[in-house]
Amino acid sequence: MTESLGTTGLVLNEPLLWEKDTPGREGFSLPHGDVDSCPVEEALTSQSPDFPDLSEVDVVRHYTRLATWNFGVDTGMYPLGSCTMKYNPKINEKMAGLRGFAGAHPLLPQALSQGLLKLLFELECFLSEITGMDAVSLQPAAGAQGELTGMLLIHAYHKSRGRKPSKIIVPDTAHGTNPASAALCGYRPVPVQSNEQGILSSEAIAEVMDEDTAGIMVTNPNTLGLFEENVQEIAEIVHAKGGLVYGDGANMNAVMGIIDAGRIGLDVLHLNLHKTFSTPHGGGGPGSGPVCVRSHLEPFLPVPRVVKENGSYHLSEDFSRSIGKLHAFYGNVGVMIKAYSYILSMGAENLKKASQLAVLNANYVKERLKDRFHLPYDRPCMHECVFTDRSQMAHKVMTLDMAKRLMDYGFHPPTIYFPLVVNGAIMIEPTETESKQDLDLFIEALRRIADEAEHHPEFLGQAPSKCKVKRLDEVAAARKPCLAG
């Protein structure tokens, strides 16, 4: 093997912010007090909040040291399944930071916000074009809020037809957030198992679909990384009983420029701009979760909507059947600017190519590892592949141990123990921005780990050994929560 990416170097310790507190230090350039001071009524005031006093240097060193304890896509391969950790183009950060965008107040008179309204309008058009759906709302702040919006749209649609279904079908290969989003609309999730091929069968859906069911939530490609081949037939079954089909588009990175969601029969589909459209994940957000709908759901979309009239753009609340607002303003515009920049940089051809390469990368990893790791569904995958720890269990080595050991080799671990439909799942999504050379290193590392599992299983239980900290006691953290200092 070539030299491992993972190594150790000098990493500095850094205390908590308040352990560095030195009263009287300042880290902020305070503007001059050029007007008379005007005290607030005594009864209204109290002590200042107990923030540590630090200098600018203290703050800069603190966060610079913390940053070195983290691993990001810019550091190396981050094959977290279902999260689409692709490269985040740097130019897009600059675009979102342009003064006119970053400094825009959301309630500016609309004549002063034309540049942004045009951008939002065009982004909606682009997403509609890419998905094959008729209309888009950019308002949901992340994928789960997009799901909730989708559920609210379905709820409003049924209500407008005098129907009050109580259930919704959620397959075992759907995303983890789906049942919780459905529950917010009062829908009871009806679980359905995927078949021996890892996908939904039309028969299984026909068996549970009835008039008291609002519809189905389909993640496609599903969380096993497999395309739901029967999705069209399933949509027909659901529609025939008055239900609607919700598409979880978190895995859209596999199928841009390939599928037509409208043709498939999806009624509503959410996207994750922070997955498919390259905006950074920020250590857990901010994201953006637009919803795309077919025309029969358009009247229910959140307000305000961006409307173009006579060459200018305005925000309109004039949609009486709308489900209302999901966000204080228009959603995470800063994130949308980055996605817009990405789409403009890529164009249709490169977006399609991105999906093709994402799928090629996943299949390559699958083929090169399946002799060492148990592959529960040995068939062509989309953008991710799912292995298990079955072969290593004989040596008492579990998925968790192998994931931790990957860190020592310089890789972020894949998603583990998800999807739940597979025991000890190892869910690998390389994304299209990893080169063959990087994939080869990753594959080699995992093969080495498979060797280690056979010959030095006790060693893996101790991993990682090269990170800032060793394995952390999560049980103690939950048993006696210490959530603030």
User: Which lies closer to another protein via its Cβ, residue 296 or residue 436?
Assistant: 436
Q: How far is the CB of 78 from another protein (least distance, A)?
A: 7
Q: Contact, 228 vs 200, CB < 8 A?
A: yes
Residues 347, 331: Cα–Cα separation, whole Å: 24
126 in the Ramachandran plot: left (φ > 0), alpha (ψ -120 to 50) or beta?
Answer: alpha
Q: How far is the CB of 394 from another protein (least distance, A)?
A: 25
- CA separation, residue 20 to residues 13, 17, 53, 64 (Å): 13, 6, 8, 15
Q: Among residues 144, 271, 441, 449, which is the contact residue for another protein, using CB under 8 A?
A: 144
Q: How far is the CB of 438 from another protein (least distance, A)?
A: 8
What letter does residue 125 receive in the DSSP assignment?
H
Q: How far is the CB of 457 from another protein (least distance, A)?
A: 17
The residue written with tokens 């290593």 in the block is 392
Q: How far is the CB of 323 from another protein (least distance, A)?
A: 6
Q: Contact, 415 vs 223, CB < 8 A?
A: no
Report the candidate in 292, 361, 317, 23 with the shortest Cα–Cα distance to residue 147: 292
Q: Which stretch binds another protein (CB under 8 A): 238-246, 251-259, 293-301, 390-398?
A: 251-259
What letter does residue 297 receive in the DSSP assignment?
G
* 457 lies in the binding site for another protein (CB under 8 A): no
* 129 lies in the binding site for another protein (CB under 8 A): yes
Q: How far is the CB of 33 from another protein (least distance, A)?
A: 6
Q: How far is the CB of 393 from another protein (least distance, A)?
A: 21
User: Which lies closer to another protein via its Cβ, residue 3 or residue 24?
Assistant: 24
Number of residues interacting with another protein: please give it, by CB under 8 A: 200
User: Which lies closer to another protein via its Cβ, residue 145 or residue 201?
Assistant: 145
CA-based end-to-end distance of the chain = 45
User: Which lies closer to another protein via its Cβ, residue 392 or residue 431?
Assistant: 431
- Compose the 387-416 pattern: x for residues touching another protein by CB under 8 A, - for all others: ----------------xx--x----xx-x-
User: Which lies closer to another protein via its Cβ, residue 68 or residue 391?
Assistant: 68
State whether residue 364 is helix, strand or coil: helix
- Interacting positions 148-207 with another protein (CB under 8 A): 148, 151-152, 155, 176-177, 179-186, 188-189
Q: Among residues 4, 5, 101, 314, which is the contact residue for another protein, using CB under 8 A?
A: 101
- Interacting positions 46-75 with another protein (CB under 8 A): 46, 48-54, 56, 59-60, 62-64, 66-75
Q: Among residues 8, 10, 455, 484, which is the contact residue for another protein, using CB under 8 A?
A: 484
- CA separation, residue 58 to residues 18, 26, 30 (Å): 11, 10, 17
Query: Dihedral, CA atoms, 93, 97, 100, 106, nearest 10 degrees?
Result: 100
- Cα 195 to its chain centre, rounded Å, is 26
Report the candidate in 226, 307, 219, 319 with the shortest Cα–Cα distance to residue 269: 219
User: Which lies closer to another protein via its Cβ, residue 74 or residue 394?
Assistant: 74
Amino acid 210 reads D
* 24 lies in the binding site for another protein (CB under 8 A): yes
Residues 385, 362: Cα–Cα separation, whole Å: 6
In this structure, the number of other CB atoms found within 10 A of the CB of residue 77 comes to: 24
Report the candidate in 132, 150, 130 with the shortest Cα–Cα distance to residue 140: 150
* 31 lies in the binding site for another protein (CB under 8 A): yes
User: Which lies closer to another protein via its Cβ, residue 417 or residue 454?
Assistant: 417
- Interacting positions 361-380 with another protein (CB under 8 A): 361, 363-364, 367-368, 379-380
- DSSP characters over 93-111: HHHHT-HHHHT--TTS-GG
- Interacting positions 258-287 with another protein (CB under 8 A): 258-260, 263-264, 272, 274, 278, 280-287
